Structure 1
Amino acid sequence: MTELVTVSGDRMPVVDVHAHLLLPALHAEVERRAPELVAEAADLERRRNGVESLQVSGAMVGERIPKLTDVGVRLAAMDAQGIDRQWVSVSPNHFYPWAPEGLAVWVAAETNRLIAEHVAHAPDRLTGLGVVPLQHPERIVEYLDDAVLGRGLAGVEISSFAGDVELSDERLEPFWARAAELGCIVFLHPFGCSLDERLDRFYLSNTVGQPTENAVALSHLIFAGVLDRHPGLRIVAAHGGGYLPFAIGRSDRAWRVRPEARRCQHAPSTYLRRLWFDTVVHDPVALRHLVEVAGGSRVLLGSDFPFDMGLDDPVSFVRGADLPGEITQRILGGNADALLQTQVPA
């Protein structure tokens, strides 16, 4: 196996940008503060995911709690995978998109604090991403600053939507502007799927729902002109951007022939090279296509650690995709390091 090296001959670190953390104490406090709302949200999840999938997922997560909470266990697992550094973000069930403002901002502040504490145990190996209360746009900039400036995190993780807030919502303009100004990471990772009960069997809520949510969210960003107005945004899409990179021709067609789809300055496919994507696509052919449409500098190693729908051996997956050696090196670490180079204001 060829080792990654820099131009100076030093070994280049391998970076996983998609790895998760659970915060059980935070969950318990949310349940104490809002038991009725938690029960309503649990009922919605049962309808969306189906009882069978929730039972399987519960057992799977239960087995992996140490990897999701214990820094020592995390580092040992990283060593086994050949990962030098992880970008750590909470599991999306921490987003609480139903939470009223008071609870939502408390969750954001507490999540940012706990993530910072977790990565501080191994700052040479862990990079943290915080959260913002997406369903309350008027509070988002405050908690973006809390994550990046207050807690020293590299950016924030957001969902594909929250309540009535889509990523094209005009109320998010201050957030996009501030994120671009800070040069921080915005990691797009869906929580749930708006197709609800249609996907409640066969684990379709994940296998179909997650790629759908990624594609819808990215399409809102592109068609609304968000990337035109804020070209400095550093948005990383989980799961390879879902279906969008693989059906982008249909978006280009709509942009050419439909006036209501001409809110962005250029054909939608051009914006794929203004975004970044992880490698959680489960198919080497899909990974090669993603590199072709987005560019070799826009794809980052991701694993979805430590969940069962992630990549068990993410490094081997990338190495086995038959990509040019230089692009393989970039994906395994160089692109992620380059993405974090921008200094944030003091």
Structure 2
Amino acid sequence: MTMTAPSVPSAPSAAEVPGFVDVHAHFVTDSYIDGARAAGHELPDGIPNWPSWSVAEHLELMDRNGIDTAVLSISSPGVHFGDDAAARRLAREVNEAGARTVRSHPSRFGLFASLPLPDTDGALDEIAYAFDELDADGVVLETNSHGVYLGDKRLEPVFAELARRRATVFIHPTSPVCWQESALGRPRPMVEFIFDTARAVIDLLFAGTLERHPGLEVIVPHCGGALPVLADRIDGFMKLFMPSQDGRAPDAVAQLRRLHYDIAGPTVPRQLPALLRLADPSQLLYGSDYCWTPPAAVDSHIASVNAAPVPVDGATWQSLTTGNALRLLPRLTC
């Protein structure tokens, strides 16, 4: 009897390995930039220049870095520049522009729709339009809108509706209202964005928004900003000052562990390990922050992430974060 060696499965081809899903990717339009500049945002958040963006340039960057899909959103300063009616028109305009890109390249792009907060009625109208007409994958919310933070009771109807739809909510930082004093003349994304991210999530915790709406899927950017090193301090203060009516002490750490976190930014070698002391690897997502992050910096970031230790045996950062993203955003598997 002739013995044959057992067959050894061949390694999957490059085409069989799913590329990154980029949940923190931005776009701009000429009319959006014109509107922001007209409202005084000539140097957005202290950055010297507005970025340029095109589908072709974005796809080239994605192909070079093994990114299969990018979920587009408008970054800071958002769409509300002081006038509710103008903000509603601008939100509709950028959302329709993003949706056209998704329709043209359905396997390469997704969309987190912008809302004209703090205009609650306008936001509710845009939620309905974005999900029911544009098939958006979720929404993007700035950490504050003219000083109205996400836990503000005026925004409760917005979170109630998003929770009813079991929506994905991508939080994006913007300048705090006190940036003139706190930023010390330096670009606000360097430090202010990190702390405003933490401030917005802390506000959601203390307002009870996350507990009231467990169906929300929330993505926190930049490895959670300052949250990983503040989590125990926040938890201690919540237990001191927020006793539950049923006698249970609120657990900030448990609530933070339910959230999703993208790893955009210079997060290696220090910030990402800190996040892994708070969040399970199943909650981590890839983010490039393109087009606000220049292409060369995106290349460098993805190389540094790929070189970092992976917290799951047998996984790569690509397989880990992409698997997480596809569970969160199942339309992207189509």
What interval of TM-score do these two structures reach, taking the shorter chain for normalisation? 0.7 to 0.9
Q: Is the contact between residue 86 and residue 127 of structure 1 (CA under 8 Å) also seen in structure 2?
A: yes
Following the alignment from structure 2 to structure 1, what is the Cα–Cα distance between the partners of residues 163 and 217?
A: 7
Equivalent of residue 326 in structure 1, options 297, 307, 315 = 315
- Distance of aligned partners of 1:265 and 1:172 in 2 relative to their CA distance in 1, 3 Å threshold: farther
TM-score (ref. length: structure 2)? 0.84
Look up the match of 1:172: 155
Equivalent of residue 278 in structure 2, options 275, 293, 303 = 293
Report percent identity of matched pairs: 27
Q: Does 1:149 align with 2:132?
A: yes
Following the alignment from structure 1 to structure 2, what is the Cα–Cα distance between the partners of residues 141 and 124?
A: 28
Equivalent of residue 112 in structure 1, options 80, 88, 95 = 95
TM-score (ref. length: structure 1)? 0.82
Following the alignment from structure 1 to structure 2, what is the Cα–Cα distance between the partners of residues 13 and 244?
A: 28
Q: Does 1:276 align with 2:276?
A: no
Following the alignment from structure 2 to structure 1, what is the Cα–Cα distance between the partners of residues 258 and 70?
A: 23
Q: Does 1:28 align with 2:41?
A: no
- Distance of aligned partners of 1:28 and 1:280 in 2 relative to their CA distance in 1, 3 Å threshold: closer
SS in 1 for 2:73: strand
Q: Does 1:15 align with 2:2?
A: no
- Aligned residue identity for 1:119: V
Two-structure CA RMSD over aligned residues (Å): 2.8
Q: After the TM superposition, which of the residue ranges 171-180 and 194-203 deviates more from structure 2?
A: 194-203
Look up the match of 2:288: 303
Look up the match of 1:188: 171
Query: CA deviation digits over 1:164-207, x for unaligned, max 9?
Result: 42211122222112212222221100222233223444635221
Q: Does 1:249 align with 2:232?
A: yes
Q: Is the contact between residue 297 and residue 327 of structure 1 (CA under 8 Å) also seen in structure 2?
A: no
Q: Does 1:85 align with 2:69?
A: yes
Following the alignment from structure 2 to structure 1, what is the Cα–Cα distance between the partners of residues 28 and 269?
A: 30
Following the alignment from structure 1 to structure 2, what is the Cα–Cα distance between the partners of residues 160 and 10?
A: 38
- Aligned residue identity for 2:156: E
Task: Give 1:316 deviation, angstroms.
Answer: 2.6
SS in 2 for 1:326: coil
Q: Is the contact between residue 154 and residue 185 of structure 1 (CA under 8 Å) also seen in structure 2?
A: yes
- Distance of aligned partners of 1:210 and 1:271 in 2 relative to their CA distance in 1, 3 Å threshold: same
Task: Give 1:106 deviation, angstroms.
Answer: 0.9
Task: Give 1:91 deviation, angstroms.
Answer: 2.7
Task: Give 1:302 deviation, angstroms.
Answer: 0.6
Task: Give 1:29 deviation, angstroms.
Answer: 5.5
Task: Give 1:322 deviation, angstroms.
Answer: 0.7
Task: Give 1:216 deviation, angstroms.
Answer: 0.2
Following the alignment from structure 1 to structure 2, what is the Cα–Cα distance between the partners of residues 186 and 293?
A: 20
- Distance of aligned partners of 1:342 and 1:15 in 2 relative to their CA distance in 1, 3 Å threshold: closer
Aligned residues between the structures:
314
Task: Give 1:284 deviation, angstroms.
Answer: 2.7
- Aligned residue identity for 2:317: T
Query: CA deviation digits over 1:241-273, x for unaligned, max 9?
Result: 21012211111121232x257699622111112
Look up the match of 1:229: 212
Task: Give 1:158 deviation, angstroms.
Answer: 0.9
Look up the match of 2:79: 95
Q: Is the contact between residue 265 and residue 289 of structure 2 (CA under 8 Å) also seen in structure 1?
A: no
Q: After the TM superposition, which of the residue ranges 161-170 and 198-207 deviates more from structure 2?
A: 198-207
Look up the match of 1:315: 302
Structure with larger Rg: 2
- Distance of aligned partners of 1:265 and 1:112 in 2 relative to their CA distance in 1, 3 Å threshold: farther
Task: Give 1:339 deviation, angstroms.
Answer: 0.2
Look up the match of 1:218: 201
- Distance of aligned partners of 1:127 and 1:187 in 2 relative to their CA distance in 1, 3 Å threshold: same
- Distance of aligned partners of 1:322 and 1:81 in 2 relative to their CA distance in 1, 3 Å threshold: same
Q: Is the contact between residue 188 and residue 237 of structure 1 (CA under 8 Å) also seen in structure 2?
A: yes
Following the alignment from structure 1 to structure 2, what is the Cα–Cα distance between the partners of residues 277 and 175?
A: 22
- Distance of aligned partners of 1:262 and 1:244 in 2 relative to their CA distance in 1, 3 Å threshold: farther
Q: Is the contact between residue 228 and residue 265 of structure 1 (CA under 8 Å) also seen in structure 2?
A: no
Task: Give 1:281 deviation, angstroms.
Answer: 4.5
Gaps of 5+ in 2: 1-10
Query: CA deviation digits over 1:317-346, x for unaligned, max 9?
Result: 332221234373554311111101389xxx
SS in 1 for 2:330: coil
SS in 2 for 1:93: coil
Q: Does 1:266 align with 2:255?
A: no
